[in-house]
Amino acid sequence: MYSELFCQSNFSFLVGASSPEEIVTTASFLGYRAVAITDECSVAGVVRAHAEIARCRLPISLIVGSYFTFDDFSFVLLCPNKPAYSELCRIITQARRREDKGSYALSEWDITSLRHCLLLWLPTGNTDSDEKWALWLKRFHADRCWIAGQRLLDGEDHLRFKHYEMLSETFDIPVAACTGVLMHHKDRLPLQHALHAIKEHTTVEALGRKAVSNAERALRPINKINKLYPTSWVNTTNDIASLFSFSLDELKYQYPAELVPEGFTATSYLRHCVEEGIRRRFPDGIPDSIRATIEKELTLIAEQEYEYFFLTLYDIVQFAKKQKILYQGRGSAANSVVCYCLEITAVDPRQINVLFERFISKERDEPPDIDVDFEHQRREEVIQYIYQKYGRERTALAATVIAYRFKSAFRQVGKALGFAESQLDFVIKKINRRDRTIPWQTQITQHGLDARSKKVKQLISLVEQIVGFPRHLSQHVGGFVISAGPLYELVPIENASMAQRTVIQWDKDDLESLGLLKVDVLALGMLTAIRKTFDSIAAQYPISPSIPFITRLGDDHQVYDMICKADTVGVFQIESRAQMTMLPRLKPRCYYDLVVQIAIVRPGPIQGDMVHPYLLRRHGKEPVSYPSTEVEQVLSRTMGVPIFQEQVIQLAMVAAGFTGGEADQLRRAMASWKKDGRIYEFRDKLVSGMTAKGYSTKFAEQLFEQIKGFGGYGFPESHSASFAVLAYVSCWLKHYFPVEFYLGLLNSWPMGFYTPSQLIQDAKHHGIEIRPVCINHSEVEHTLVFSNGEKAIQLGLCIVKGLSEQSAAALVHSRPEHGYDSIAAVQQLGLPVNDIEALASANGFAIVSANRYAARWKIMDRQHALPLFANESGQHAFPFSPTDADNLLEDYASTSLSLQQHPVSLLRKHRDLSRFISANKLHCIANKAVVHVIGCVTGRQAPGTASGVTFITLEDETGNMNVVVWQATARQQQSAYLSATILQIDGILERSPEGVTHIIAGKLTDRSDWLSSLRIASRDFH
C-alpha cells in the first residue's frame, strides 16, 4: 500500500497537467490507499476530487491539503481533522488577501501559528538553508512534521537521498516517500511543458533546465514505488494517512442569526413576514387553496431548516425595495407562494402550475434555488449592502472557473511551441467554428499549417487536451455565500480582480456538490430599462407604475396583437430573430402562452423535435394524446409535448422508474454533459425503464434526445414563468408608452440584443422623432422632449464616442440659460481638447457652426479660446463642405449611428440599386421568387440546434430582413459570410403560412467597399 501526499492538479494553474478527477481515479486504479490534492495556496480542486470519489464509489481516501512556498521554504499542509481544515482555510485566506488576484504572500507568523495541520517539508538541497528551517521546524512543529523524500530519476537522486538522511538523523525528522505529482499519467508531460511555458511567457524550447526533466512527476505503480524508495519511507506515508479522519462532508453551513429580531424564533419570524406579505399580495382575502399551500411550504421549510435562507433573501429584497431598486426573483422561487408573499418574486402562483416539491424536496435534500435579478446599473449597491451588513469575513462571492476555450488555447499553446503570433492570429480569424462538418483540425491546414509537420501535430494534440482546462478563478456573476461565523473557516477567500470584491475558491457546482447554500444576486439590464421607463411615465402622469400594477390589469389583447406581429425589438426575451419567427406561429394570447413561447425556442424542445408537434396541437391540427395517465399528469399543461426541463425530469421518474435521487443525478448530468458526457450513463436505464413499462423505444429515445438538448441549455418552467412577467411588462410599455420605453432602453445600454442604432431605427419606424446631439439641448443621458406637441427623444451626450463623463457633466452643468452661442464659449470651460473635438465630430456644434469640419477648424484656433478674444467675430471661413457620404461616415465613427440617412439610402443615391428589394416591400414578393437584397449586417447567429445554418439579419432604411445561410453556402463564400458589413444577397424568398418571411441565400457578395470607411457593429454568434 502507498499514499501519495503531494499532488498538484490543474487547479495549480499552469502547473498541474491533470484534473482532480483524473488524479483520484488513477490513484484508485493503481491501488493507492490515499491521495492528497494539494494545489498551491488553494483548495479549489478538492471538491471535484471528493465528488468523483463519491460518484464512482472509489476505494480510496482523499486527503485535503495545500502546497506553499515562503522564501526558500517549501512545504505542504495536510488536514487530518476539521480544526486543521479551518486552520488551512484561514492561512490561505490571509496569504491571498495580502496580494492582488493570482498571488499570495505568507508571513512567518502564519506558519508559526499552526496548531492542527500536519506539515510535509520539501528541502531545497542547500545545506545552510535547510538546516535553518529544520531547526525552526523542530522548535515549532516537532511532533507533526515530516521530510518529503522525492525520487525523480534525474541523476541527482543519490545526492538528494543522502541529504534527506542527514537531515532526518541530525534533526530527528522522519522521511515520507513523495512523488510531487503534476500529472496522472506520463503521457501528459508535453502538456505540462506547454503549461509551464505559458506561465513563464516563453517557449517550451526556451525553458531549458527550468522544465520538468522527465515523466516521473506522474502517478506511479506501487511496485515501482516500492523499488524506488526505502520500505520505511513508503510505510510512513500510510502511517500518516491513518491519522486522517476529515471529510468535506463534515462541512456544515449556518446562516447569520442577527436577521431574527428579539422575541422571535427563525420559524415564527418567517411566518410573521409571510403574514405581512399576504396582506399586501392578497388585499381582498386569500383563497383557501393558497392558504393551504402556504402552510405546507412553511412546514417543509421548517423541517429542512431553511428559514434563515428565506430571511436572508427577504432582507436583501427589502433593502432594494427601500432604495427603489427594481428586482425580480426567478428560478424555482417562482414555484413558491412563500416567495411571492415575501415579495421575492412577482410571479403569481395562481398563474402557473409547478409543484413546490421541485423547489424544496425532502427526498432530494438539497438547498432551494432562488435567483434574484436586480437592475444592472444599481446591483453594486446591493452587493455593497451585503458586504457592509455581514463584513468581509462572513461573506464573499462564489468563484467561476474560467476555462480554456479554443481561441485562447490555440493562441497560447501555439506561442509556447514557437509559432509566430501573427500566424496564429491569422489562422484563428480564418477558422469557421460554426462549420461543424469540417473540424478546426482540418481547417487549419487550409491556412498555411502543414498537417504532416510534427510541430503542427503537437499543436493539435495539445490544444485538444488543454481545451476545458481551468485558466484562473473569476467571480461568479452574483452568487453570494454568507455565513454565521468567519467564512474563511469554511472555504478560503481571495481578492477578485475587481476592486471591493472578494471571492471564495469554489464555484457554484462545488457548492452544490457539498450542499452549501448561496444567494444569487444577479444583474438584469431589462430591469434597469423598465425602472427608467416607469420614472419617465411617473414624471408626466399622476400614477406610480410598477410590475404588479401592470400584471394586475390582466392580459391585454392589444399588447398580444403586437406580440403576434413580432413587433418585439427591444423587449425582454422574445426579441431575437428566432423568437420573432416563432411568435406569428405560436400566436401567444395570454400569460402562460408567453411562458411556453420563451421556453420553446431552446435547444431542448428543438433538438427533441417537440416544436412542430406542439404547434400542430395548439392550432387543432393534431389530436392531443398521451401514452399513459402518468405521462398525462406531467404533460397536460403543454398539450402532451415536453417543453420544460422539469417535465423531462418528471417523465424519467414516472415513465422510467427513476428515484428522486437518480432524477437529481440526471439533472446534474444534463447540466454538464457537453463537458464530460456523463448523460450517456443514464441512456440505457432510461430506455430500458420506459420500455419495461410499456412505452415505445421511439418515445424513450426521443425523450433522451430532448434531455441532451436541455443539457445544451436547460430551461425550466420556473425561470420561464419569471421571464414571462418581464416580457409582458416590457411589451405593455412598448405598446402604450413607446417613447418612454425606447428612452429607458437607450439610457440602460449596454444591455439586450440590439445596439442603439437598431433601437433608434425601430423607434423611427414607429413614427418617433429622434433629435441629434446638441451642445444646447442634450443632457448627459437621452431625454424626452416635445416637438410640435409630440413626444420625441433628444439624444444625450453619452452617445458621443471619446467624450468623457466628466466633460459631458461639466458641459451641461455650466450651460448658460440661453445656451452656448459659440464654440469659444465651450472652449472656455477648460475641457480637454480631445473631448471638444469628439463633440465636433458628432456634429454637436451644429447649432453654432456650419458643419462639423468647420467646427473642428475653429477648435484648432487656440487664440479664440482666450477670454480676451471670446467675442471676436472675425475669422477665416472654412471652405470645405462635406458630402452626404462624409457626414454618414462621421456619424458612424462618432456615435455608431446616423439620424440623417441610412447607409443603404445613401447607396441608392449614388448607385443603381433598382433591382434590390427593400425590406418593407418583401411582403409583396411571391413565395419561392428569386430576390436580390442589400443591407447592413446587424447580426449573425448560428445556434447549435440549427444543423449548421446561420441566420443573418440585414438592415436597410425601411427595416430588417432575415437571411438563412446554409452551411455549404457559408463555406464556399466564407470571406463575405464572416466579414462583410454591407452584404448583397441573391436568393430565394420563402414565406410560411403565418407570413414569416426568410431569404434563402444563394450568392453572398461583400459590398463593404462601397462605403469602405463605414464601421457598423454587428452582433455575431452570441
pLDDT at residue 174 is higher than 50: yes
Sequence-ordered list of residues with C-beta below 8 angstroms from that of 54, at least 6 positions apart, any chain: none
- How confident is the model over 469-492, as a mean pLDDT? 87
- CB-based contact 415:521 (threshold 8 Å): no
First and final C-alpha spacing in the chain: 52
Per-residue pLDDT of 546-584, as tens digits, reads 988 898 888 999 999 999 999 999 999 999 888 999 999
- How confident is the model over 271-284, as a mean pLDDT? 93
Q: What is the pLDDT of residue 308?
A: 87
In the block, cell 439610457 appears at: 747
User: Which cell numbers in the block locate residue 649?
Assistant: 425530469
Per-residue pLDDT of 918-949, as tens digits, reads 999 999 999 999 999 999 999 888 776 556 78
pLDDT at residue 606 is higher than 70: yes
Confidence category of residue 648, pLDDT binned at 50, 70, 90: confident
In the block, cell 510534427 appears at: 454
Q: What is the pLDDT of residue 874?
A: 46
Q: What is the pLDDT of residue 148?
A: 96
- How confident is the model over 949-978, as a mean pLDDT? 90
Q: What is the pLDDT of residue 867?
A: 58
Q: Pairing state of beta strands 930-941 and 982-991?
A: antiparallel
CB atoms within 10 A of CB 142: 11
Q: Which of 986, 980, 985, 973 is nearest to 1014 (CA)?
A: 980
Confidence category of residue 519, pLDDT binned at 50, 70, 90: confident
DSSP secondary structure code for residue 208 in this structure: G
Residues in the chain: 1022
In the block, cell 421575492 appears at: 344
- 659 CB-contact burial (10 Å; exposed 0-12 / middle 13-18 / buried 19+): exposed
Confidence category of residue 309, pLDDT binned at 50, 70, 90: confident
User: Which cell numbers in the block locate residue 908?
Assistant: 441608392
Average pLDDT, the chain: 89
pLDDT at residue 674 is higher than 90: no
CB atoms within 10 A of CB 526: 27
Per-residue pLDDT of 453-471, as tens digits, reads 999 999 999 999 999 999 9
pLDDT at residue 398 is higher than 80: yes
Share of the chain above pLDDT 90, in %: 61
Share of the chain above pLDDT 70, in %: 93
- How confident is the model over 161-168, as a mean pLDDT? 95
Confidence category of residue 333, pLDDT binned at 50, 70, 90: low
DSSP E strands in 592-694: the ranges are: none
Q: Mean pLDDT lowest for which of 240-249, 455-464, 598-607, 737-746?
A: 598-607
- 408 CB-contact burial (10 Å; exposed 0-12 / middle 13-18 / buried 19+): middle
CA–chain centroid gap for 899, Å, is 34
> Taking each helix axis from N to C terminus, what angle separates 266-281 and 307-322, rounded to the nearest 10 degrees?
50
Q: What is the pLDDT of residue 266?
A: 92
Per-residue pLDDT of 762-795, as tens digits, reads 999 999 999 999 999 999 999 999 988 899 999 9
Give the side-chain half-sphere CA count within 13 A for 735. 20
Q: Rounded to an integer, what distance in angstroms lies between the CA atom of residue 992 and that of residue 291?
A: 47
Cα-based distances in Å from 683 to 256, 612, 643: 43, 25, 20
pLDDT at residue 704 is higher than 60: yes
Q: What is the pLDDT of residue 866?
A: 55
Q: What is the pLDDT of residue 952?
A: 93
- How confident is the model over 99-110, as a mean pLDDT? 92
pLDDT at residue 46 is higher than 70: yes
DSSP secondary structure code for residue 795 in this structure: P
For 85-106, give one letter per residue: b (16+ CB within 10 A) or e: bbbbbbbbbbbbbeeebeebeb
Q: What is the pLDDT of residue 577?
A: 85
pLDDT at residue 875 is higher than 60: no
Q: Rounded to an integer, what distance in angstroms lies between the CA atom of residue 13 and that of residue 399?
A: 15
- How confident is the model over 868-888, as a mean pLDDT? 68
- Give the torsion through C-alpha atoms of 667, 668, 670, 672, to 10 deg: 170
Report the 3 state secondary structure along 875-907: CCCCCCCCCHHHHHHHHHHHHCCCCCCCHHHHH
Q: What is the pLDDT of residue 363?
A: 55
Q: Rounded to an integer, what distance in angstroms lies between the CA atom of residue 349 and that of residue 339?
A: 10
- CB-based contact 989:931 (threshold 8 Å): yes
Q: Mean pLDDT lowest for which of 486-495, 718-727, 1006-1015?
A: 1006-1015
